[in-house]
Amino acid sequence: MKYRTERDSMGEMQVPADRYWAAQTQRSLQNFQIGDEIMPREITQAFGMLKKAAAVANFQLGKLDESKMHTIVHACDEVISGRLNDHFPLVVWQTGSGTQSNMNANEVIANRGNEIAGTTMLHPNDDVNMSQSSNDTFPTAMHIAAVLQIEDKLLPVIDTFIKTLKTLEKNHEGVVKSGRTHLQDATPISFSQEISGWRNMIEKARDMLKLSLPGLKELALGGTAVGTGLNAPKEFGVEVARAVSQVTGKTFTTAENKFHALTAKDELVFAHGALKALAANLMKISNDIRWLASGPRCGLGEILIPENEPGSSIMPGKVNPTQCESLTMVAVQVMANDTAVGIAASQGNFQLNVYMPVCIYNFLQSVRLLADGMKSFNENCLSGIKADREKMKQNLHNSLMLVTALNPYIGYDNAAKTVKKAHAEGISLKEACVSLGYLTEERFDEVFKPEEMV
């Protein structure tokens, strides 16, 4: 491998000749050989966006000349497109401020820009990082990446998931089945009502997620090192937020209090709480579905789910609810990530949070897993669910909790005696009720209508 010599304030470093990064990135690459977790590509893209926006803002404010601005914008567009991903090698487990990833972006954009210009015109600190600090760029990149992934990747999948549930709900209107509480038989419910509960759980989680977006759309840029905005024009925060909005197509604003924006990560905690709520609801729905599909002969067997692949290496013909298992594992990971995000956000020492890379790594993984997991589940399981109407009817009429309908006619205590007799003797509720003398056969038939109990 061929190397070239790059310099920073600490001296010379040998850098691979075919890479655009420079001395500070190389130092980080050598000093933090920890794990395989590369800084998320969503953060790489967000850095391209914010550096582009910063160049535009600096030009508009008279800080950066036009030729440098255009050159930075050109290089940033390549970063945004993903063309330069191989030039962003740093791991998550680096400085807690993300300084080295900020410098990675500065160095790559400067060196690529100089190559585009055919001359050395850009300096990574003086030009690409103009009016900025790692302390305000990294939290800005976090917010940009979080908003883009939630709005462009996760919310569309959630909407499709809800649409599928609405279709299932409509297709199963009028299908009455046994309800269950505490894993025990309960009073009847229609299958469409059960599905409506699932649907509303996802709708509520979606609404909570949307509620978190305004906080994420506030940007720290303009605060520079400690929130005072040292070395940045007074109007920089407003101008760069406007430029970020133009680059992303989203409406971002400058954070009102930069001291808060640099040291606190509560907006990410709040948003991840909504992701955790979504994960909790998906866990519940997935478990309901695999319980209802259990069998095929010795379980509940009230619904049929798509058979996607063989389920056993030893038991021929066995098919398992694998999509349910996959989605519940996603939910477990998201719940675990919530702990990491919360603890990381609590580590704001004085004017800076120093756990930002691990915070956004877990946050973005949660968004990615939820979006991919829900898409897979929707396509390979949820959209293909069908009710086994005969099994539902059989279980419904075999449920002893239908006796609840008799409470107004024979009283709670007598209804309880009816259930106990029917269960002990293996007879129907009607037989038990009539033999105990609580109702005649004719009267029982008049008041006992399970399908009307929903």
Number of neighbours of residue 23 by Cβ within 10 angstroms? 21
Q: What tokens does 250 get?
A: 């989203």
Closest CA to 232 of 115, 159, 132, 302: 132
Q: Are 132 and 353 in contact (CB under 8 A)?
A: no
Residues tagged active-site: 182, 312
Q: Could you please report the per-residue DSSP string of 82-109?
A: TTTGGG---BSSS-TT-HHHHHHHHHHH
Three-class secondary structure of residue 181 per DSSP: strand
HSE-CB at 79 with a 13 A cutoff on CA atoms is: 33
| Ramachandran category for residue 177: left, alpha or beta (phi over 0 → left; psi -120 to 50 → alpha) | beta
Q: Are 354 and 139 in contact (CB under 8 A)?
A: no
List own/partner pairs for 179-187 with CB under 8 A and 24 or more apart.
179/401, 185/399, 185/400, 185/401, 186/401, 187/401, 187/402, 187/404, 187/405, 187/453
- Report how far residue 291's alpha carbon sits from residue 376's, in angstroms, rounded to the nearest whole number: 19
Q: Are 360 and 101 in contact (CB under 8 A)?
A: no
Helices and strands (H, E) in the chain, number of each type: 17, 10
Q: By CB neighbour count within 10 A (0-12 exposed, 13-18 middle, 19+ buried), where does 404 fall?
A: middle
